Amino acid sequence: MVQKEYAGKVIELDDNGYFTNPDQWTKEMAKEMAKENGEELTDKHFEVLEFIRKKIKSGESLTIRSIGKSGITDIKGFYKLFPGAPLKKATLYAGVSKPSSCV
């Protein structure tokens, strides 16, 4: 467990840098996290992040495919929004735990 300051608040993170308590999350924090990677978040990014938070809250499993079916963006678009490993990055910015979509 590590602690880090985002948007003036001390946040508990797990060993991979993911929020341990999603309720601590704010949009400002997401912006700061993205900035650390030299990225700027747009409204489209936030639509995706909100979708992820809603899914996780309801206990549903989250996959890249379910984001592709969300109507917000297709999978290609998701890769463009969060280049590299989109699901890992998007869940990180969304303040939820690391996806374990696969069991």
Interface with other proteins by CB under 8 A: which residues? Answer: 59-61, 63-66, 69-70, 75-76, 78-79, 83-85, 100-103
Of 46 and 79, which CB lies nearer to other proteins in the complex structure?
A: 79
Q: 29 or 91: whose CB is closer to other proteins?
A: 91
1, 10, 102, 103: which one is catalytic?
102
Strands 2-6 and 9-13: antiparallel
Query: Amino acid identity, residue 43?
Result: D
- For other proteins, the closer of residues 21 and 26 by Cβ is 21
Angstrom distance (rounded) from CA 26 to CA 73: 22
Buried b (16+ CB within 10 A) or exposed e, 55-94: bbeeeeebebeebbebebbeeeebbebbeeebbebbbbbb
To other proteins, the closest distance from the beta carbon of 84 in angstroms equals 8
Asked if 102 is an active-site residue, the reply is yes
CB of 98 to other proteins, least distance (A): 10
Residues identified as active-site: 102
